[in-house]
Amino acid sequence: MNNHPNISSFHHALKVDTDICTACSHCMRNCPTEAIRIRQGKAVIDPARCVDCGQCYSVCPSGAIYVEQDDFNDLLRFRFKIAIVPMVFWGQFDSRYDFDTIRRAIKMLGFDAVFPGEYSTGLLNELMIEYIHSHPDVRPLISCFCPAIVRLIQVRFPSLTPNLIPLRQPLDLTAIYLRKTFTDTYSCQSNEIGIFYITPCAAKIAAIKSPVGEENSAIDGVLNLNLFYNRVRKILNTPDVWTAAPDEKTLDLSAIEVKWTHTGGEKNNMPFGGAAIDGMSSVIAFLEQVEDEKFTGFDFLELRACDESCPGGILTVANRFWVVDRMQSMAKKLPDSTKSQKLEPYSNYLKQHAYIEPIEPRGMQQLDPDPRKAYQKLQHLENLAKMLPGIDCGVCGAPTCRALAEDVVNHQASISDCYFVHMSLAKNGRKPYERSLKINENIWGKKWPDPDFFKEGEDYDS
């Protein structure tokens, strides 16, 4: 659907299985960036508008939307196999399973080392505070933690891209740390080390496969948290996992790390005024106002696409509120701040590698790359919008009347795709019934109208 020449293709982890999709249109109605249309009886995702937030995945009743992942056996290629696992993974299990037992179970899947993705958050927290102090002219500054939010800002709020703090995500910095540690300790080549990330969401996959502001990711493969959970769960049922290996060292963890991916996890460790906002619709409504400069006095914004942030990730298994509670009780037993020597001797190395390039806008809201043409299309769009009923019924295969009008000016739909428009035309004899059927078929496929539809109801009818 994307006809803008200035947009390179971005990797998306969310896909539609057209064999399963029934064109129920739940995804289309819930997509916060209006990226989905129904065509020929199937949902189609526009790669230019999609920000990989995963709301479509969550609302799909038939499981037709799936999240692409790498092959688990890919890790066999590497001499050293490392798993980077988000803390929310531990939150999926009840208190019978402590941190080390779960870590051991993950290792038993074939990993040489298991680290939480948040291992580097202590350092990131320092760098973020430093960055906010040294950029007093840009307010509010926005964390780059959630990749769906970074993409949302690029696509929908391009004027706010300079407000993004160009620091890596914790999982990337942790990966850089581990790669360095392993190459130095075992004097091996970087390509002998395979680092796999267990992801709670689609956005992280997209960010790893086509990183924003960095050349390539330090991660070699991504596995989906829900499927990984099943593998670990199986191992936890075996007796071996309960006996610690004699050489096993526990990890220094802090409450910051455990709670970092919760709503408020970043903001609560900042000596600045700000807000922590979760959920796509709340974030969008808030950013609209930030863009108009209706707020002043905010220094820092922590924005997360999922409700309850990462515990609400679309690939998590347990209830998000339960997970937050479980992790908070884990955090209570830990020191508040990270030991500063934890990442030594690599702190300076990591500081040098912590920054990414400034994030560029991907402003694809424009109707045409040529401003004059865009203006003409806009006038056309406004006129079309007046013709449409404004009830956003979705029967045209677009989520709103305005979205249809925009598709029409971009030659991706016809105004008579609107049920009310083609009924009006049919009534005036300008489009016969057959033509209406054809329009319907182009959008919803051949399933409707079904010629056998009335057979069962015949008795009631007469």
User: Where do contacts with other proteins occur on this chain (CB under 8 A)?
Assistant: 158-159, 161, 288, 291-294, 361, 363, 365-369, 371-372, 374-375, 377-379, 381-382, 406
Cβ distance to other proteins smaller for residue 33 or 261: 33
Tell me how far, at minimum, the Cβ of 279 lies from other proteins, in Å: 21
Cβ distance to other proteins smaller for residue 239 or 297: 297
How many helices and strands (H and E) does the chain possess? Answer: 18, 11
Residue 425, class by beta-carbon neighbours within 10 Å (0-12 exposed, 13-18 middle, 19+ buried)?
A: middle
Strand 36-39 versus strand 42-45 pairing type: antiparallel
The vertex-152 CA angle with 148 and 154, nearest 5°, equals: 120
Alpha carbons 67 and 15: distance in angstroms, whole number: 6
How many residues are present in the chain? Answer: 462
Cβ distance to other proteins smaller for residue 345 or 371: 371
The vertex-302 CA angle with 296 and 308, nearest 5°, equals: 130
3-state secondary structure at position 66: strand
DSSP string, 323-336: HHHHHHHHHHTS-S
Cβ distance to other proteins smaller for residue 374 or 426: 374
Cβ–Cβ contacts within 10 Å for residue 165, how many? 21
Tell me how far, at minimum, the Cβ of 206 lies from other proteins, in Å: 23
Tell me how far, at minimum, the Cβ of 331 lies from other proteins, in Å: 36
What backbone phi and psi angles, to 5 degrees, belong to 55? -65, -35
Cβ distance to other proteins smaller for residue 1 or 378: 378
What backbone phi and psi angles, to 5 degrees, belong to 164? -75, 135
Cβ distance to other proteins smaller for residue 293 or 434: 293
Cβ distance to other proteins smaller for residue 227 or 378: 378
Tell me how far, at minimum, the Cβ of 49 lies from other proteins, in Å: 13
Tell me how far, at minimum, the Cβ of 406 lies from other proteins, in Å: 8
Cβ distance to other proteins smaller for residue 61 or 297: 297
Cβ within 8 Å of residue 443, ≥6 positions away: 38, 39, 40, 41, 395, 396, 397, 417
Instruction: Write down the residue that tokens 């499981």 correspond to.
Output: 63
Residues 67 and 54 sit within 8 Å (Cβ to Cβ): yes
Residues 200 and 323 sit within 8 Å (Cβ to Cβ): no
| DSSP class of 377 | H
Cβ distance to other proteins smaller for residue 369 or 389: 369
Alpha carbons 405 and 413: distance in angstroms, whole number: 8
Tell me how far, at minimum, the Cβ of 74 lies from other proteins, in Å: 40
Tell me how far, at minimum, the Cβ of 295 lies from other proteins, in Å: 9
Tell me how far, at minimum, the Cβ of 28 lies from other proteins, in Å: 21
Tell me how far, at minimum, the Cβ of 181 lies from other proteins, in Å: 41
Cβ distance to other proteins smaller for residue 347 or 365: 365
Tell me how far, at minimum, the Cβ of 285 lies from other proteins, in Å: 12
Q: Which helix (H) or strand (E) holds 190?
A: none
| Radius of gyration, alpha carbons of the chain | 25
